[in-house]
Amino acid sequence: MSATAAQSPGQTPGQTPTAPEPRESVRRRRAARPRNTGGLSSTSLIYLVLVGVIAASVVLTAIEGRNFFSQGNIWAVLTAMSVLGLIAIGQTLVILVGSLDLSVPYVVSLATVIAAGGMKGLDSNLPAAGVNTLGLCALIGLVMGLLVGVLHVHGFIASLGIGLVVSGYLGTNYQGSHGDASPDLELLGRSGIAGIIPTAFIILLVAAALVTLLLRYTRLGHHLYAIGGNQDVARMSGVRTVVPVVAAHVMCSVLAGFAALLLLSRTGVGLPTIGSQGRYDLLSIAAVVLGGTLLAGGKGSVIGTIGGVAIFAVLDNVMGVMQVNPFLKDFVRGLVIVLAVAVYARRSVVRRPPRFGGSGPLGASLGTNQKGGAA
Amino acid sequence: MSTATSTPSRPSAGRALPLTEGSLVQRLLRGALTPGGAVFILAAVLFVAVVAINPNFGDPPQLIRFIGRTAPIAIAAMGQYYVIVSGEFDLSMGAVIATQVVIAGNYIGQDEGRVLPALVLMLLVGAVVGLVNGLGTTLLKVPSFIVTLGTMLALGGLVRYLTGGAATGNPVDTFREIGRGGIQDVPVIEVLPYSVIILVAIMAGGVWLMRSPFGRTIIATGDNPDAAGLAGAHVWWVKTRAFMLSSLSATVAGILLVGYAGVHPSVGAGYEFQAITAVVLGGVVLGGGRGWLLSAAAGAFALELLFSFLNFQEVESTWRPTVQGVIIILAVAAAGRAWSLGRRPSRTSPPAAPAPPSTPAHPGTETGEK
């Protein structure tokens, strides 16, 4: 969204963004303004897919003799969304800036054992343990961000490396469950509104709203898109590229820490393998890409990511209701990822407008025709 | 056109590719300073360190067995190299290995006559998986990370579903001999494992491939797919073949692993990341276009030597991932600098020594492979 806003002034300098519209070719218009042409943007497409998946789930659940929209089932779906959702929001930030974070599962595991170990089952320890945990996550994110931003290590490698370092630490020092969550935190995991919307989901929505505001209305957010689009161009345009990269990684790790606290509120104990068992690294990246964010960075939105997470949660839920073999679930997930991304991967690629001949008579006439048709 | 007069015709054209200048020794020395060459030095240093702790390790029979043990990961790393140098990722490698292992276990059983058909079937499955990965990446324009993640989940899930997640099937010993056995009574090394022969054959084939037009095209494609496409390369087919090579390498690694590890759907778990680590350790740049095939294999050996070193030092094996993580971060941070130093003449400092004008440069002959 911000990418489109950033593009339009750049196309024809010296004119107002609306003036050159008739001279744009059809392709250029589609690429630059997916929302105005009447075509489907990837965000609306992902929600259409979501509606389709929900419709199919309702039917399949009904065949099993159960109601998809029952209180308990909606609660289950929304709870399942909350943890992966928080991680995926962080992952969105990192991917937008052109990096990747493969360390989230290990950060999540580490955060649960550290938080549970700090709480020792006492409410009085909750604030300190929470702050400690999130601070540690922020520190991990900071190291990763500095590796990516200052030393120019590829995000894939930096986060894979940090993840391995953390997993080695976890494997050496923690065997089995560790610590005990405070009762207040466990209460939070069970609380909700009217037995339908869990508090965890509200936390997810608040985080999504805050990050969306950050991306749309702050300088940092715009810089994230600019750097993800093209780091060199952003730097030469006067953007300091280190700070947004580091900030994205810190926010991603902190959001993973929050997700770990939510997990802890449900499990009650810290588990050193909970993150890698959940495969949050690959699933969160898949959810982000499913949500229409370009893996190369520079284009995407948190709203789309939430849609992607919702698709996974609904699929998991209906497969659980149908008692699908857990190994077959992976098979279905894999198929869905590839098929769903294949459906709209072609349109979400921002094509550079043709440099020569794009504004010829044919292009102009097509452009005006379509504008007339749309109006 | 005014620039034509302002730039004198110095013999500076050769400076763009310093690796093509000088005698063989000079070129080797310069090559050793690039990340692709440095990994050979790293492997040698690690080897010396391991032998210093445990002198038995240096005995030829021991050493050849170590090489045989490392062959599967080295082969997988070379397969991953093709994909990475073309600018993509292949995360499906571990799942392909698991699939092949399970196919071998269940299709062959105790029937000797099925060994050859099974090999054909496995190679076919590998080629098809690679084809799917490649076509998904190139024609559907889905990022390779996502396509191969999808095939990884789908294949891994299917294999676990079909086997129930437990070890099933037991291929005949003749099939297992491929990974386990060797030619007996060889002088000096006692046994020459088949896996070493396969490794050497694949290395030789790979070097030949990277020197062929296909190899040149794959590096050009990884460096800049648009430019390669405009120059006439069929980018989609080049990349698809890279994915097929990767899956076929995973298949060969799987065949070898049947001999060592037995039939279990979790064989090969994590192989994709280990192969990527080895490739990156070999100085191959993620994003494509830079790096040598043999460096990827050397990266695999360096990694295994490092693990042996830690074993002999009696470091707890749970620290292995930590060491691996630190190593790859350091390797990549160093490589990012060294490639630009090795390849590009610095603009600020004047050329230290004038290029020998008599040496005929062979443009484009020495960039892909040492």
Q: Residue B345: its pLDDT value, please?
A: 46
Confidence class for position B17, pLDDT limits 50, 70, 90: low
In angstroms, rounded to a whole number, what is the distance separating the alpha carbons of residues A26 and B316? 62
Residue A325 at interface with chain B, using a CB cutoff of 8 Å = yes
H or E stretch covering A143: helix A126-149
**Per-residue confidence in pLDDT tens, chain A, 375 aa:** 444 444 444 344 444 444 444 444 444 444 444 444 445 567 788 888 889 889 988 898 888 888 888 888 888 889 889 999 999 999 999 999 988 899 999 999 999 999 998 888 788 888 899 999 999 999 999 999 999 988 888 888 899 899 999 999 998 888 888 888 888 888 887 887 777 888 899 999 999 999 999 999 999 999 999 999 888 899 999 888 899 999 999 999 999 999 999 999 988 888 888 888 888 888 899 899 888 888 888 888 899 999 999 998 998 888 888 888 878 888 888 888 888 777 766 654 444 444 544 444 443 334 333 333 333
**B320 or B51: which leads in pLDDT:** B51
- CB count within 10 Å of CB A3 equals 19
Task: Give the residue among A263, A269, A275, A259 at the shortest CA–CA distance from A179.
Answer: A269
Q: Which residues of A touch B164 (CB under 8 A)?
A: 327
Record: contact A168-B286, CB cut-off 8 A: no
Give me the phi and psi of B358, to 5 degrees please: -80, -25
- Whether the CA torsion A363, A365, A371, A374 is positive or negative: it is negative
Number of Cβ within a 10 Å radius of residue B207? 18
Say yes or no for a CB contact (<8 Å) between B332 and A163.
no
Residue with the two structure tokens 């004119």: A15
Closest chain A residue by Cα to residue B150: A334
Domains and CATH numbers, chain A: 48-348 (1.10.3470)
Name which of A91, A107, A146, A172 to mutate to probe chain B: the one with the most chain B Cβ atoms within 10 A of its Cβ: A172
Residue of B251, B243, B205 lying closest to B222 (CA atoms) = B243
Residues of A in contact with B149 (CB under 8 A): 282, 285-286, 334, 337
Query: Minimal Cα–Cα distance from A170 to chain B, Å?
Result: 9
**Strands A192-193, A197-198: pairing kind:** antiparallel
| Sequence letter at residue B315 | V
Nearest CA in chain A to B132: A338
Between B344 and A334, name the one with better pLDDT.
A334
Residues 185-204 of A with CB under 8 A from B: none
Six-digit token string for B328: 């790859």
Instruction: For residue A147, give how far its alpha carbon lies from the nearest alpha carbon of chain B (Å).
Output: 8
Closest approach of B91 to chain A, Cα-based (Å):
10
Q: Which of A160, A172, A331 sits opposite B158 (nearest CB)?
A: A331
> Where in chain A does DSSP place strands (E)?
192-193, 197-198
For residues A81 and A201, the answer to whether their CB atoms sit within 8 Å is yes
In total, the C-beta contacts within 8 angstroms joining chain A to chain B are 144
CB contact under 8 A, B143 and A289: yes
In this prediction, residue B18 carries a pLDDT of 53
CA neighbours closer than 13 Å in the CB half-sphere of residue A16: 2
Handedness of CA A185, A190, A195, A197 (dihedral sign): positive
Contacts of B142 in chain A (CB under 8 A): 338, 341-342, 345
Partners of A325 on chain B (C-beta within 8 Å) are: 161
Residues of B within 8 A of A160 (CB-CB) are 273, 276-277, 325, 328
DSSP state of B107: I
| CA–CA separation, A155 and A252 (whole Å) | 13
- Tell me the shortest Cα–Cα distance from A133 to chain B, in angstroms: 20
pLDDT at B341: 56
Residues of B in contact with A282 (CB under 8 A): 91, 149, 152-153
Q: What structural domains and CATH numbers belong to chain B?
A: 33-342 (1.10.3470)
Q: Does A286 touch chain B (CB under 8 A)?
A: yes
Instruction: Give just the sign of the alpha carbon dihedral A335, A322, B158, A156.
Output: positive
List the single best residue of A162, A337, A339 to mutate versus B (max B Cβ within 10 A). Answer: A337
Cα of first residue to Cα of last residue in chain B, in angstroms, is 38
Q: Which residue in this structure is represented by tokens 């080295």?
A: B74
Per-residue pLDDT reduced to its tens digit, B97-109:
999 988 888 887 7
| 3-state DSSP assignment of residue B183 | strand
Q: What is the pLDDT of residues A50-59, one digit of tens each?
A: 898 899 888 9
* Contact at CB, B161 and A295, closer than 8 angstroms: no
**H-helix segments, chain B:** 3-6, 24-33, 35-53, 60-85, 93-103, 115-138, 144-163, 173-180, 194-211, 213-223, 225-230, 235-261, 271-281, 293-312, 320-343
Residue B352's alpha-carbon distances to A63, B348, B355, B362, in angstroms, are 79, 12, 9, 22
Tally the C-alpha atoms within 13 A of residue A141's C-alpha that lie toward its C-beta. Answer: 28
The answer to whether A341 contacts B142, with C-beta atoms less than 8 Å apart, is yes
- The tokens describing A29, both together, are 């218009």
Residue of A nearest to B331 (CA): A153
Q: Does A162 touch chain B (CB under 8 A)?
A: yes
Min Cα distance B319 → chain A (Å) is 5
Element (H or E) spanning B191, and its range? Answer: strand B190-193
- pLDDT confidence bin for B210, thresholds 50/70/90: very high
In a 3-state reduction of DSSP, which class is residue A197? strand
C-alpha separations of B258 from B103, B111, B194, B263 in Å: 10, 16, 13, 6
Total residue count of chain B as it appears in this document? 370
The alpha-carbon gap from A306 to the nearest alpha carbon of chain B, in Å, equals 18
Which position has the token pair 């056109």?
B1
Would you tell me how many other CB atoms lie within 10 Å of the CB of residue B16? 12
> B325, A286: Cβ pair inside 8 Å?
no
* Interval B231-243: pLDDT, tens: 988 999 999 999 9
Q: Provide the shortest C-alpha distance from residue B192 to chain A (in Å).
A: 35
Q: How many CA atoms lie within 13 A of A224 on its CB side?
A: 30
Rounded CA-CA distance A73/A318 in Å is 10
Nearest residue of chain A to residue B152 (CA atoms): A334
| Chain A hits for B280, Cβ within 8 Å | 157
* Identity of the residue numbered A227: I
Q: Rounded to a whole number, what is the distance in Å from the CA of A153 to chain B's nearest CA?
A: 5
Residue with tokens 């965890």: A200
Name which of B149, B150, B160 is nearest A327 (Cβ-Cβ).
Answer: B160
Say which of A162, A171, A329 has its CB closest to residue B318.
A171
What would the 3-class secondary structure string for chain A be?
CHHHHHHHHHHCCCCCCCCCHHHCCHHHHHHHCCCCCCCCCHHHHHHHHHHHHHHHHHHHHHHCCCCCCCHHHHHHHHHHHHHHHHHHHHHHHHHHCCCCCCCHHHHHHHHHHHHHHHHCCCHHHHHHHHHHHHHHHHHHHHHHHHHHHCCCCCHHHHHHHHHHHHHHHHHHHCCCCECCCCHHHHHHHHCEECCCEEHHHHHHHHHHHHHHHHHHHCHHHHHHHHHHHCHHHHHHCCCCCHHHHHHHHHHHHHHHHHHHHHHHHHHCCECCCHHHHHCHHHHHHHHHHHCCCCCCCCCCCHHHHHHHHHHHHHHHHHHHHCCCCHHHHHHHHHHHHHHHHHHHHHHHCCCCCCCCCCCCHHHHHHHHHHHHHHC
Looking at residue B113, what is its pLDDT? 78
Alpha-carbon distance A356 to nearest alpha carbon in chain B (angstroms): 16
Contact B273, B163 (CB under 8 A): no
- A104/B contact by beta carbon, under 8 A: no
ipTM (interface predicted TM): 0.75
Nearest to A327 among B89, B150, B161 (CB): B161
CB distance A247 to A223 below 8 Å = no
* A238 dihedral zone (left: phi>0; alpha: psi -120 to 50; beta): left
Q: What percent of chain B has pLDDT over 70?
A: 84
Q: Are B77 and B296 in contact (CB under 8 A)?
A: yes
Neighbours of B173 (CB within 10 A): 12
Alpha helices in B54-193 (DSSP H): 60-85, 93-103, 115-138, 144-163, 173-180
> Residues of chain B with pLDDT > 90: what percent?
28
Stretch (H or E) spanning B182: strand B182-186
Is A167's CB within 8 Å of B316's CB?
no
Whole-number pLDDT of residue B21? 63
What is the C-alpha to C-alpha distance for residues B82 and B75, in angstroms, rounded to an integer?
A: 11
